[in-house]
Amino acid sequence: MTRKKDVGMFVVTGATGGLGRATVEALLARGVPAERIAAVVRKPERAADLAARGVQLRQADYDRPETLAPAFADAERLLFVSSTGPDEARVAQHRAVVAAATEAGVGLLAYTSVLAADTSPLVLAEVHRITERVIAESGLPSVLLRNGWYTENHAAGLPRAVESGVLVGSAGKGRAAFAARADFAEAAATVLTGEDQAGKVYELTGDTAHSLADLAAEASAAAGRPVRYEDLTPERYTEFLGSFGLPDFAVELVVDADVRISEGALETVTGDLAELLGRPTTPPSATIAGILAAAA
Ligand SMILES: NC(=O)c1ccc[n+]([C@@H]2O[C@H](COP(=O)([O-])OP(=O)(O)OC[C@H]3O[C@@H](n4cnc5c(N)ncnc54)[C@H](OP(=O)(O)O)[C@@H]3O)[C@@H](O)[C@H]2O)c1
């Protein structure tokens, strides 16, 4: 295993996804030369625009472990974006990523975990707990980006809510410290380009906590139309989400997250994200206005 002393390549997995792509953009915006950035993707054709700007594309799939170590070769800094899909598959995928990163001898592995992964009651936190343990056991220099809740998770449904006048969920009066996905990406780029990051754990949240009724009110203000929040039982919310053809595991995670929000599991404001950004986090009102404008 070789480990370079100088900063070599910045390698970003999940680079055709929302967070990975935004992190590549944030690295470029911070002045990292495109030729020092490698985007790890399953479908290179979906990242042709990045390639056109000089970013290297490396094809790999968490489900095909043999593709991973070559994609991580010469990575001095690796952003490992957690996978999507059912938990059983994700644990195997994440183990494969960590094994490949170890084999490649990456200089620093940054993992996108979840807020308070060690104690979080969210169902989806279990995969992150296991992955954090696997990373620790690997002995790789690593940093944990424990991401809080994206505003987009709920705001994505707002154009429909504006049409119907109703935003539904199961979060009751619970509040979450939402932040824009681009904020988490910018923070990831800051950590990747920073020094002395190994061993750090960032608990990343927005600066203020909001209820889903608050998000509905923001949507109403931005659209100039009435939008109210209607709280559904978890059973009814499950039926509602199922009617859009979402897979069962995804519905379970989304409903569980709302129920946990109702209990305060994502309400904590830590200040870590604003500190990394060097500015306040993006308020939900701005993200919502952007989403509604794009949908108009
Ligand atoms: N904190 C939050 O609020 C929150 C919300 C949603 C998700 N997440 C987690 O954070 C991660 C990043 O969020 P996001 O918004 O960027 O999600 P996203 O847009 O769904 O992107 C997920 C990325 O993971 C890649 N991926 C999935 N399975 C893979 C596999 N087998 N091999 C290689 N790559 C694979 C996808 O590749 P393709 O483009 O080829 O599909 C995509 O690039 C998610 O994957 C999820 O674990 C967090």
174 lines ligand 1 (CB under 6 A): no
pLDDT over threshold 80, residue 244: yes
For residue 20, the ligand 1 atom closest to its alpha carbon is 16
Pocket test for ligand 1, best of 16, 66, 81, 254 (most atoms within 8 A of CB): 81
Q: Indicate the average pLDDT of the chain.
A: 95
* Span from the CA of 97 to the centroid of ligand 1 (angstroms): 14
Q: What is the C-alpha end-to-end distance of the chain, expressed in Å?
A: 52
120 lines ligand 1 (CB under 6 A): no
* Span from the CA of 226 to the centroid of ligand 1 (angstroms): 33
Residue 44, pLDDT score: 97
Residue 3, pLDDT score: 43
List beta partners, residue 59: 41
Beta strands in the chain (DSSP E): 9-12, 37-41, 56-59, 75-80, 108-114, 142-147, 166-169, 175-176, 201-204, 210-211, 228-231
Nearest CA residue ID for atom 39, ligand 1: 16
The widest CA-to-CA distance across the chain, in whole angstroms, is 60
pLDDT over threshold 60, residue 164: yes
- Mean pLDDT of the 194-206 span: 98
CA distances from 194 to 25, 50, 110, 136, 190 (A): 16, 23, 12, 20, 6
- Per-residue pLDDT of 7-39, as tens digits, reads 589 999 999 999 999 999 999 999 999 999 999
For residue 63, the ligand 1 atom closest to its alpha carbon is 31
27 and 54 Cβ atoms separated by less than 8 Å: no
Round the CA-based radius of gyration of the chain to a whole number and report it.
Answer: 19
For residue 13, the ligand 1 atom closest to its alpha carbon is 34
* Span from the CA of 82 to the centroid of ligand 1 (angstroms): 6
* Span from the CA of 105 to the centroid of ligand 1 (angstroms): 24
What is the reported pTM?
A: 0.96
Sequence-distant (≥ 6) Cβ neighbours of residue 16 within 8 angstroms:
39, 41, 42, 43, 46, 47
- Residues 256-284, buried b or exposed e (16+ Cβ, 10 A)? bbbbbbbeebbbebbebbbebbeeebbbb
Residue 155, pLDDT score: 87
* Span from the CA of 140 to the centroid of ligand 1 (angstroms): 22
For residue 14, the ligand 1 atom closest to its alpha carbon is 43
Residue 202, pLDDT score: 98
- Mean pLDDT of the 127-144 span: 98
93 lines ligand 1 (CB under 6 A): yes
The band of 255, judged by pLDDT with boundaries at 50, 70 and 90, is: very high
> In the numeric block, which tokens belong to residue 39?
């985007």
Residue 6, pLDDT score: 53
pLDDT over threshold 60, residue 40: yes
DSSP labels, 62-102: TTBGGGHHHHHTTEEEEEE----S-HHHHHHHHHHHHHHHH
Q: Strand 175-176 and strand 210-211: pairing?
A: antiparallel
Residue 75, pLDDT score: 97
> In the numeric block, which tokens belong to residue 164?
């119907």
List beta partners, residue 150: 179
9 and 24 Cβ atoms separated by less than 8 Å: no
Q: In whole angstroms, what is the distance from residue 44 CA to residue 67 CA?
A: 14
Residue 78, pLDDT score: 98
Other residues' Cβ atoms within 10 Å of the Cβ of residue 8: 17
Nearest CA residue ID for atom 18, ligand 1: 17
Q: In whole angstroms, what is the distance from residue 13 CA to residue 232 CA?
A: 36
